[in-house]
Structure 1
Amino acid sequence: MTPIIYSKNNCGPCNMLKLALREEGIAYEERNISTSEAFLNELMELGYQSVPIVLVDGKVVANGFEPWKVKEAMQHG
């Protein structure tokens, strides 16, 4: 189970979240909405317009800089 992070270029909270997850040893898949209209559409279909948004097993587990929620979801997933 790999978390999916929706992010965009020059996003401080996105960069901080990715760094925090790397420091915890959590690998993730990044979906950059700045470089992919398809990823932006996916994010909007989830009902969000801001990033970072993190999915674990298809469920939104974090909205913003919330690395503890991602870690918890990974442990209980």
Structure 2
Amino acid sequence: MVFFRNRHFYFCRFIYLGIRYMNTKATKEMHINITVNLKKRFHATCVMKGKKMSQVVIELIEQWLESKEFSLTGETKSI
């Protein structure tokens, strides 16, 4: 009976993890070098605003790409 419970546990865990990660986009880790002071200011401001630092960086990259990204024809996208 213990074997059945363990099998059942692992099956439920597998299903849970599958559902949990179905709705997430694949991500890639990125490392940057910034000054200690800039990192402290950024972290403190994110905490005050209730946001994760990674989410703010993603938003900033998306905004930057909207204004700088080239289309396939080589022209800059208009805002």
TM-score by length of 1: 0.28
Which one scores higher on RCO, CA 8 angstroms, separation ≥ 6? Answer: 1
**Larger relative strand fraction:** 1
TM-score by length of 2: 0.28
The structure with the larger Rg is 2
